[in-house]
Structure 1
Amino acid sequence: MRAWLAPLVLSLLFFPTRGDAFSLRCGSDLISDGASKADVLLKCGEPMLKESRTEYEGVKQKYKGPDTDTTTERVVQKNIDEWTYNFGPHRLMQVVVFENGKLVEVRSGTYGR
């Protein structure tokens, strides 16, 4: 049992995970994080479903001055669009999430129809 444990631990250390990176394959095209809605439409076509919402997030900023530190808080509006692609019964459906027009997430759903 110990014979395979050391190589497994070493492989986990030397081959880091991709983190938050993601991509979506549409035919022979690959769409990655940061792509615009126009890029996705061009490469993947019209989605089966489009949903939009607006979210508000509080953002704090700290400023360091020579005598005092100041913190300000403001509310930032984010426009969120979720597009669902159905690639058929042999592939998982994909939900593509845009924040202010830029691709920020791709989630897999159930198998398509």
Structure 2
Amino acid sequence: MRTLAASTLVFLVALMHAGSASAQSLSCGGTLSGVGDSKFSVVQKCGEPMSKEFVCVPRPQVAWVLSPYPGAPAQQVVTQACVPMEDWVYHRGQGNFLGIVRFYNGTIESVRDGERVR
């Protein structure tokens, strides 16, 4: 019985993780733009966005700090670094969610839904 409960828990955690890891794409005129596509490719498929915004996305960064004491080990320090990215917003039509495409280094890093257009 305990093994069944543990197996079920592992399955549910794996299922939740798999759902959150799935990448979304932006559909434009029957073609899809997704993670890894270039800005040029997105403009060719979808046209110009209704807005563009530069954003600073905090990401953890690990650094090693040397100890001032001879022979003492270095210490690991985690800080938040600003990673510059660009968000493009696409209007998908009345009743649909806005499409938000985030670019990092000129390629799509993620696609997500924004607010519903009324």
Shorter-chain TM-score above 0.5: yes
Matched residue, 1:19: 21
Query: Which blocks of at least 5 consecutive residues in structure 2 are unaligned?
Result: 1-7, 65-72
* CA deviation profile, 1:39-73 (whole Å, cap 9, x unmatched): 111111000010013457563378xxxxxx87799
Q: Identify if the C-alpha distance between structure 1 residues 89 and 77 changes in structure 2 by more than 3 Å, giving closer, same or farther.
A: same
Distance 1:78 1:50 in 2: 17
What percentage of aligned pairs have identical amino acids? 32
Aligned residue-pair number: 99
The two structures have a TM-score, normalised by structure 2, of: 0.61
Considering only aligned residues, what root-mean-square deviation do their CA atoms show, in Å? 3.3
| Structure number with higher strand proportion | 1
| Structure number with higher helix proportion | 2
Stretches (4+) displaced over 4 A:
54-58, 69-73
Query: Which blocks of at least 5 consecutive residues in structure 1 are unaligned?
Result: 1-8, 63-68
Mean CA deviation greater in 33-42 or 17-26: 17-26
Distance 2:83 2:105 in 1: 6
